Amino acid sequence: MRRPIFAPLVLIATIIGLTLVPLPAKAAGGLATDKVVSGHQGTDSSTVVSPTFTTTQTNELLVAFVSTSGRAVSRSQQFTSVTGGGLTWRLRQRANDQYGTAEVWQAVSSGILTNARVTATHNGSYPGSITVATFTGADTVTDGAVKGASGATGAPTATLTSTRTGSWVWGVGNDWSRATPRTVGSGQTKVDEFLASSDDTFWTQRQSAPGAAAAPSNVTINDTAPTTDRWNLSVIEILPAQGAQAAPVFTASSPPGSATFGSAYSYTFAASGNPAPTFRVASGALPAGLGLNTTTGVLSGTPTASGAATFTVAAANGVSPDAVTPSITITVSPAQSADGTQAAVVFGWGPVVNGDEFSYTGAPNPLKWGVYNSAGHAGNGIRSPNAWSVDGNVATVSGDSAGTTGGMSAKFAQQQYGRWEVRMKTSARDPKYHPVLILWPNNNTSPNCAEVDYAEGTSDTSRIKFFLHYACSGSSFQTQAVQPIDTTQWHNYAVQWTPAGITGYIDGVQWFTDTDPAHQPTVGMHQTIQLDWFPDGTATLPSQMQIDWIRVYN
């Protein structure tokens, strides 16, 4: 195929106004096409002319997508001018490394155009095509990005980097090798196509919708067929209009100051400004488990640790200064579950390594417990296995009016150091029945007489006590604490034993500590549970002690 350089004596020009898709096409942020017209020059000529069109608004951006054939010489063809509408047109992009040329020109109309026609003039005399698109809601001051590409073979493709979120990328191309339809790439629309009798193809295509990705981002205009022709392709980014730039100002920056461990949390920071601001943590750290969406400003997630976190959030949009919130503190409270507040959760003791959930019925599990069958505390009453029962949820030890009661000793977790937690409650007990949770030495012979009573009821039924006995006898060899409490309600009693000392907790709150090395037990300990009888010669009311679970942690 070769194109004549000189026009024949008689030229027949074909000017066709057409649209291949419903127009105008509306884009985000007010960017839209007002008019799109296309003209085809089917015979050799030095010009190609658009159909007439009338715009509907002032301050429109006009873009002419023009292409023509040419000699078989690289970079030999070009459009020398575009005129029409009384406007000043300027070249934005030319692609002519291969034969022919594909170019983008633009102008701005301050007023409404009536019966306007655009003429593009090029070197030599060849067929060509023109598509004029007029845009409302476009930026008429700042130029968008452009890109040109050419290929001796392969599928036409050109990629530019967008400069503004919500922009719209269009392209124009020429195929010098043959007249054959384009297959446009994914997410794109063919605006116009002219299959000339000279075996040329001229076409215009665009993104089907404006870009949703935040700028800067790569945007590709491409065809998937044909793949063996010689081509040129020019692309342009149409920018949406924007108001005057403004530094960000927070309009919402006071998230709730409290959260709950394990419960979803969400708050949306908001800020004005142009361009739209993005968000970041400027100082400090968010509560564990929460994250900040930098685009939407949503602070959300599920807290994974208790405690307070202090931080600030900044909003930035490239216009100084950034907006920064005052210092924010969010305090994450322990979860309020069916099991109440647990020291293990508050302090993150990790997985349960041993214990008993009492999820069976009958007697206490003999593989886990040694149930007492002996005289009671200080020889008072009897500790009987029959005093115990398990109903699939809790273990109950009952003391009767004659002093028959119970106790048992754990066969598991007989260890030096660890953490134990027990969920316990009592009936409205007789003051002579004392519930007690104990860490008892594995080798209870002198001098290994330490005893940790980390929850012991006494004759004062409105209080619970903690006793650390660190010698074999004598009240002078103990430390203690006392806490008012209603033992008829479920509470979680815990003890932590480490080389640094012994600490007691009720419902996740510390109430006892002893860090004196001389008071440390010297041998391994294990859990015992007892309801002890302290008779005083008066009648005794039957009483109960119930255990929901016992859990041991490293």
Tell me the whole-structure pTM to 2 decimals: 0.48
C-alpha torsion sign, points 272, 274, 280, 284: negative
Q: Nearest-CA neighbor of 369 among 409, 428, 326?
A: 409
Tokens standing for residue 78: 């070009």
Q: Nearest-CA neighbor of 520 among 538, 505, 492, 498?
A: 498
Q: What is the pLDDT of residue 446?
A: 66
Torsion angles phi and psi, residue 145, rounded to 5? -70, 155
Q: What is the pLDDT of residue 475?
A: 59
Paired with 45 in beta bridges are 126
Q: Environment class of residue 142 by beta-carbon count within 10 Å: exposed (0-12), middle (13-18) or buried (19+)?
A: exposed
Tokens standing for residue 359: 């999820």
Helix (H, G, I), strand (E, B) or coil at 482: strand
pLDDT string in tens for the chain (554-residue length): 434 433 333 333 344 444 433 344 444 447 999 999 999 999 999 999 999 999 999 999 999 999 999 999 999 999 999 999 999 999 999 999 999 999 999 999 999 999 999 999 999 999 999 999 999 999 999 999 999 999 999 999 999 999 998 899 999 999 999 999 999 999 999 999 999 999 999 999 999 988 888 889 999 999 999 999 999 999 999 999 987 678 999 999 999 999 988 889 999 999 999 889 999 999 999 999 999 999 999 999 999 888 899 999 999 998 899 999 999 999 998 765 577 889 999 999 999 999 999 999 999 999 999 999 999 999 999 999 999 999 999 999 999 999 999 999 999 999 999 999 999 999 999 999 999 999 999 987 767 678 999 999 999 999 999 999 987 665 578 899 999 999 999 999 999 999 999 999 999 999 999 999 999 998 999 999 999 999 999 999 999 999 999 999 99
Q: What is the pLDDT of residue 340?
A: 81
Q: What is the pLDDT of residue 470?
A: 86
Q: Environment class of residue 12 by beta-carbon count within 10 Å: exposed (0-12), middle (13-18) or buried (19+)?
A: exposed
Report long-range pairs for 514-518 (Cβ below 8 Å, ≥24 apart).
514/468, 514/479, 516/479, 518/470
In order of start, what are the domains of the chain with their CATH numbers?
28-238 (no CATH), 246-333 (2.60.40.10), 343-553 (2.60.120.200)
Q: What is the pLDDT of residue 449?
A: 75
CB 28 within 8 A of CB 210: yes
* Interatomic CA distance for residues 54 and 134, integer angstroms: 10
Q: What is the pLDDT of residue 30?
A: 79
Torsion angles phi and psi, residue 379, rounded to 5? 80, 10
Q: What is the pLDDT of residue 246?
A: 85
* Interatomic CA distance for residues 505 and 307, integer angstroms: 17
The backbone region for 353, taken as left when phi is positive above 0, alpha when psi lies in -120 to 50, beta otherwise, is alpha
Q: What is the pLDDT of residue 211?
A: 85
